[in-house]
Each structure stands twice: as structure tokens, then as C-alpha cells.
Amino acid sequence: MARMKFLCDADRCIECNACVTACKNEHEVPWGINRRRVVTLNDGLPGERSVSMACMHCTDAPCAAVCPVNCFYTTDDAVVLHNKDTCIGCGYCSYACPFGAPQYPQTANFGTRGKMDKCTYCSGGPEEDMSQAEYVKYGANRLAEGKLPLCAEMCSTKALLAGDGDIIADIYRERVVTRGYGSGAWGWRTAYGETVTV
Amino acid sequence: MQILSRMMIALLAVGFLSLTTMDAQAQVNPTAQSVNEDSMFEALGADGNAVAGRTSIPDQNAANLIKPDNKAWAALQGTTLNFVFIVAIVGMVVLLTLFYVIRGRIRVEAGMSGRKILRFNSLDRFAHWTLASTFIILALTGLNLVIGKTVILPIIGENAFGSLTAFGKLAHNYLAWPFMVALALILILWVIDNIPDKVDLAWIKQGGGLLKKGVHPPAKKFNAGQKVVFWSVILGGVALSFTGVMLLFPAEAGAAADWQFFQTIHALAAAVLSAIIIAHIYIGSVGMEGAFDAMGSGEVDENWAKEHHALWVEEVEVKAKTSGTARASTPAE
């Protein structure tokens, strides 16, 4: 089985936010929730870079470590998913996540947040693959259809890469060698304990 | 002429501007000098420990790209705090079991006299039991957050455990308030009798008479051990209340790091106070004969009072004489 990862090549990202829009559209993500976002670093300065960020599907995911109801699980593809039926909306995962991935539909009194929502790597949840119940709770399950996450698939500059970690690391490494520079595999060190060295 | 000179100035200005932009382009290589992860990580610490930038969505927290420190809190929460809780709770239960096996139940050595002295009036008992019942529910539902997933989840299954834990959150939302009111009430009612004094030193020197039969160091209304429990409850309760309110209103608690700090303090205070309260429950029930009456009916046996709170009994007797009323005890029937 592949070890699925995301890699955003910030030297190619043009901050078009198409990945954000594609994600919202593909999964009918409600207003106020962003499973993916683009952050621009050193905005307006020479050498600014934009990074598209979502759940990185960490190795030893910190969200899973702090969840009091054990609603997280890791698939055979190393994708970190969660069960909205058992989630109690306590918010612990959002304080454990280094990438700001967990999102909540509410901000009410007493910290009531509703069921957590986050990037599923386009692979749904614990419901039956490609069922209506799965779509309503978690969105589309492209992985079950043999496709990769839409954000990366439709990225116009091919900045955002999704797929087996070793393969996308090789692609990125080759790019860095060819063009002579690279700002790094953003988030990899934090998520996987290793970064892509060239 | 005027028009010509203006055009000259304009041309010069344009020429100057283009020269400076060319200069800027010559200095900056936008690819080689781009911001990179390594340098951003090296610069961490100054900016709230987050690799942060700008984002176009309304939630400005989303501008924090990477916050590696969150993993430190996750590790603390996931492993260290669990360990602290288990050591505190299991450790205390083991200690008390050993104490019970070795020392046994502390009896009233003179036997029950049958004469009763009022120790806690109805307001005292109302405050105590409000505090006790809310604390027990809050502590158990809180403990469930820490070890429930390893202890209860495998037994009752995911969905039932999810509902149970959600109920624990609801319990915290509502029971926190009576807990805080009762905490304030016991502070007002009992603080005067819980100020440490010289009698406590003598009590502590004799180990409170806990370890040896027949040893009964004199004490006023509250002995040193009870004072320790009182101040633990007050200090722990205030810490739990303050951090708890912050956790109930996370938006008001400040940044995520503040919330993590409050949560850590809340969990540690809960672990320590739970262990102390387990000991308190033990000595107030199975651990000591006659002790439960103080908070049960409010009236304790005179012999129990003389053995454990000799100075307090004297005080009560003096008070009864000076006020000219009969002693607050009735002969055995």
C-alpha cells in the first residue's frame, strides 16, 4: 500500500486558490469551513511564497493522540480519517494539530462546536464507500474511484502534489535539481518527522 | 516654454524611476532569495511559535501555516497527563488500601456515648454536599476524558461511549456553576476555623494519631489534616473554576497557546484534587468510625468529638454555658 502524502511546491504555487475552491465544490463543504487554504508567506516582499495547506495526514497523528473518544483512524493508505458519529466536538484535535486542519461548523456558547470536519484526502469516512451517507458527512470518495485528491489533480501549475510519498518526493527532488532552487517540502518535517532532502 | 520644461521634468522623473526599479531587480533574485521552510523554522519563537503568513479567508487563525508547538501539547495531553492521572488515582487507592489493611478502621476507643453534639448545621451540610456531588460528577466525567477511551470504550463500544462523553461535556457546562457557588459558600462558612495555628504543629508532630492506636492529639473544630483538605479544595477549586471558565469560553481564553495552558492546569489540578478527595472520602466513611455523622446527620457522638476534636468540644461547652442555654446534646435514650 502506498503512503499517501501532500506536497506543495511553493515555488510553483501562484495563490490562485483553485485548490480551495475545488475542494469546497467537490465535497459541498459548508460555508465557514475550509478544508484547504492558501497561506502567503512574506506577502508583498521579494521572494514571497504561497503554500496550499490542508490536513497532512501525519505519521502518529497528534489529533488522534488527544481525541478523548478515539474517533480517528488511519487507513491502509496512511490517510487519517475520523468518525463524525462518535466525535463530540470537544476541539482537542484543533489544539493538537500543527496545521490548523480541524474545522467546526459552529462557534456557540460553552465552546459548542459541532462535529469536526477536515480534509479526508478525498477518501470519505467510515461509512460504506461512495454511499450517500458517506457523501453527506465526509464528501466525495475519489480514492475509492481510483482517483487522487481533486485539489492536487486540478492544480494548474502542478504545485500541489498528491500521491505516494516516495513518488511525489522524487518528483519534487527532480524539480529542485533541474531549476536549482526549492523552498522546501512545507510541513513534512512536522507531519512525518522527515523532510525532502536534495 | 512652460510646457517644454514640464515635459523635461516628467521625462527625467520617469528615467529616474526606471533606473531605481532596474536597481531593485538587479539586487533581488526572486527564486534564490525566496522564503524557505528552514529559515522560517529558524526564526520561530518570535512570532507566537507559528510559521505564519497571510490568507484571504476570514478566519485569521488560518494564517498560521505550521505550529510545531501544538505537537508538544498533544504529547503532554496524550501521554504525560494520562500517566499523572493514573499515578494520582491508582496511587492513592493503593495507599489507602494499605492503610486500611495495616491500621484498620479507626474506632471510637471509648465507645459510643450516645450523646450527640451538633457539628455541622444544615447550611454547612448543604454547601458540603452541593460541592461534593458536583465535584464527583465533574471529576468522573473529566477522568473519562483522560482514561475512558482505554477503560470504558472497549466495554461499551464507540457510539455509546461517544454519547457518554458528550454527556460529560454537558455536565461540565451546567454543574460548573453550582460547584463554584458551593465553593464560595464553604470558603465563607469555614475559613475562620481553618486558619493554621500552633495546635496544628503539635497535631502534625504526632502524625495526627493516624498511625498509632490510642494517640489523639488535641484539635479545634478542624485538625491540621482537615485544614490541608480545606485549603486544597479552595486552591484547587479556584484553579479549576478559573481555568474551567476559560475552557468553557475558548474564544475569550485568548490564543490557542493560552487555551492549552489552561487545559493543562485544569487537568493537573483535577488529578491532584481527585486524589486528595479520595482520601477525604475514605477517612470520612469506612476509614473512621463516627466520622460520617458529621456530614450525615450533622451531629457527632460526644466520645468521637472528645477523641478527635478535644479543644472544639471544650469550646462548644464553654459557649453553651456562657450563652446560658443547655448543651447541644441529649442523653442516651
Q: Helix, strand, coil % (nearest 5) of chain B?
A: 70, 5, 25
**Is there a domain that residue A134 lies in?**
yes
Report yes or no on A197 lying in a domain: no
Q: Report whether pLDDT(A27) > 90.
A: yes
B276-285 pLDDT, tens per residue? 999 999 999 9
User: How many domains does chain B fold into?
Assistant: 1
Q: Which residues of B touch A106 (CB under 8 A)?
A: none
What pLDDT band is residue B24 in, cutting at 50, 70 and 90? very low
Q: What is the CATH number of the domain that holds A181?
A: 3.30.70.20
Subunit contact A68:B71, Cβ cutoff 8 A: no
Q: Do A85 and B78 touch (CB under 8 A)?
A: no
Q: Measured between beta carbons, which residues in chain B are less than 8 angstroms from residue A51? A: 53, 65
Smallest Cβ–Cβ distance between B145 and the set A10, A68, A190 belongs to: A68
3-state helix, strand, coil split of chain A in percent (to 5) is: 30, 15, 55
The boundaries of the domain holding residue A68 are 4-192
Convert the pLDDT of each residue in B95-105 to its tens digit. Answer: 999 999 998 99
Residue B49 inside a domain? The answer is no
Nearest Cβ partner of B70 from A50, A62, A88?
A62
Least trusted range by pLDDT, from A25-29, B49-53, B126-130, B277-281: B49-53
Q: How many CA atoms lie within 13 A of A32 on its CB side?
A: 7
Non-local CB neighbours of B170 within 8 Å, separated by 6+ positions? none
Q: What is the pLDDT of residue A109?
A: 74
CATH of the domain at B176: 1.20.950.20
Domain range for B266:
69-322
Interface of A with B in 45-74 (CB under 8 A): 45-51, 53, 62-63, 65-71
Mean pLDDT of chain B, nearest integer: 87
Percent of chain B beyond pLDDT 90?
A: 60
ipTM: 0.92
C-alpha cell at A109: 456558547
Domain contains B113: yes
CB pairs under 8 A between A and B: 169
Chosen for mutation from B25, B41, B55, B61 (greatest number of chain A CBs closer than 10 Å) is B55
Report yes or no on A198 lying in a domain: no
Q: Ranked by mean pLDDT, which of B78-87, B217-226, B234-243, B308-317 comes out on top? A: B234-243
Higher pLDDT, A141 or B159: A141
Q: Does residue B46 belong to any structural domain of this protein?
A: no
Q: Within the 145-184 window of chain A, which residues sit less than 8 Å (CB to CB) from chain B? A: 179-184
The pTM of the whole model exceeds 0.90: no
Report pLDDT digits (tens) over B127-142.
Answer: 999 999 999 999 999 9
Least confident of A71-80, B25-34, B300-309: B25-34
Q: Name the β-bridge partners of A38.
A: A52
Domains: count for chain A: 1
pLDDT at B62 over 70: yes
Q: Is residue A69 part of a domain?
A: yes
In a domain, B231, yes or no: yes
- C-alpha to C-alpha distance for A7 and A161, rounded to whole angstroms: 5
Asked whether residue A102 is assigned to any structural domain, the reply reads yes
Select from A33, A63, A183 the residue whose CB has the most chain B CBs within 10 Å, as the one to mutate to test that interface.
A183
- The stretch A122-132 carries a mean pLDDT of 95
Q: Distance (Å, rounded) from C-alpha B89 to C-alpha B25?
A: 66
Give residue B162's Cα distance to chain centre.
24
B34: closest chain A residue by CA: A47
> Does residue B25 surpass a pLDDT of 50?
no
Judged by CB atoms closer than 8 Å, whether chains meet at B158 and A187 is answered as: no
pLDDT at B154: 94
The per-residue pLDDT for B229 is: 96
Note whether B149 contacts A67, CB cutoff 8 Å: yes
pLDDT band at B245 (very low <50, low <70, confident <90, very high): very high
Mean pLDDT score of chain A: 94
Long-range contacts of B312-320 (CB under 8 A, 24+ apart): B312/B219, B312/B220, B312/B221, B313/B117, B315/B220, B315/B221, B316/B117
pLDDT at B243: 96
